[in-house]
Amino acid sequence: MSKVLYEKDGRIGRITLNRPEVLNAIDDELPRELADAVARANGDHGVHVIMLSGAGRAFSAGYDLAYYAEANGTGNVTQAMPWDPMKDYAFMKGNTELFMTLWRSYRPVICKVHGFAVAGGSDIALCSDIILMEDAAEIGYMPTRVWGCPTTAMWVYRLGAERAKRMLFTGDRITGTEAERLGLIYRAAPPDKLDREAEALAARMATVPVNQLMMQKLMINQAYENMGLETTQMMATVFDGITRHSPEGLNFKQRAESVGWKQAVRERDQGSYDWTENRPFDDEGPR
């Protein structure tokens, strides 16, 4: 079964992440299938706009930690020590480039988020041009607490330095309502209005000629490229590998293998585990 679906609907190319049984978690194949779908839309002159969404209960819950952190599949992103940073970089930069096909797409990309767009799922969403979220849906990059750095680096380009630091120093999740207030997304809407608002926006864009849409997107994106986006992403991707091979990152991996990734993630997100000492905090918390 395809992990990313593509359908042409008039002037709209619809791309749907399609691993609903695991909240559209990212494995080795999903980024490649996503990029292939973007290429299909860009190769069709009849498509003016791309609508990106997720099947099931969420947009995307990020990387599939049952696959990567528990080492139950072939996707082991923690190497034996001493590790090769450039081998890790090549893998993660490859995924970043596949996500960035949304950013570099000649067609505008509207991302429609329900449920969650967290961790690596937020990387995908933030590479889109315009994001609409359910008001109670959640977005965040929790792996900044341990085991990750957002390789696309889109948080700072969308939020600016101080608000990006507020998100990445805490690893907190925020609702669509808060994300709109901060300027991270274009609009938050109640669940019963999200589809209608997204479709209206797509329909409005679809009345503009393809070449006009392409020129406006290239012009705006170039401003961010001139700010050093590519260089920032290079550093972020190297740092992402370091986070997973630091003592704390290795302890997180060991904990996930021992108690399961759900428990390890719960301890990480609640701040109840000391990854440096590799033990739970005592009743008084960190000192």
pLDDT score, position 66: 84
Given a cut of 90, whether residue 125 has pLDDT beyond it is yes
pTM score, two decimals?
0.94
Contact 260, 268 (CB under 8 A): no
Given a cut of 80, whether residue 58 has pLDDT beyond it is yes
Q: What is the mean pLDDT of residues 84-94?
A: 94
Q: What is the mean pLDDT of residues 137-155?
A: 97
Structure tokens at 216: 């406006």
- Closest residue by Cα to residue 48 from 12, 23, 80: 12
The Cα angle at residue 230 between residues 225 and 232, in degrees rounded to 5: 110
Looking at per-residue pLDDT, the higher value among 81 and 34 belongs to: 34
Domain spans of the chain? 4-245
SS (HEC) of 179-215? HHHHCCCCEEECHHHHHHHHHHHHHHHCCCCHHHHHH
pLDDT score, position 75: 56
Q: Each residue of 226-283: pLDDT tens digit?
A: 999 999 999 999 999 999 999 999 999 999 999 999 999 999 999 999 999 999 998 6
Structure tokens at 30: 């999903």
| pLDDT tier for residue 79 given thresholds of 50, 70 and 90 | confident
Query: Strand, coil or helix: what is 285?
Result: coil
Q: What is the mean pLDDT of residues 114-137?
A: 98
CATH 3.40.50.300 given to domain 4-245: no
Residues found in the chain: 287
| pLDDT tier for residue 183 given thresholds of 50, 70 and 90 | very high
Q: What is the mean pLDDT of residues 2-30?
A: 97
- Closest residue by Cα to residue 158 from 240, 75, 98, 229: 229
- Closest residue by Cα to residue 139 from 173, 187, 170: 173
Count of C-beta atoms within a 10 Å radius of residue 61: 23
pLDDT score, position 196: 98
In a 10 Å sphere around its CB, with 0-12 CB exposed, 13-18 middle and 19+ buried, how is residue 187 labelled? middle
Bridge partners (DSSP) of residue 26 are 63
Q: What is the mean pLDDT of residues 135-152?
A: 97
Given a cut of 80, whether residue 285 has pLDDT beyond it is no
Strands 130-134 and 187-189: parallel
Bridge partners (DSSP) of residue 51 are 14, 110
The whole-angstrom separation of Cα 72 and Cα 90 is: 22
Identify whether 143 is preceded by a cis peptide bond (ω within 30 of 0).
no
Q: What is the mean pLDDT of residues 31-45?
A: 98
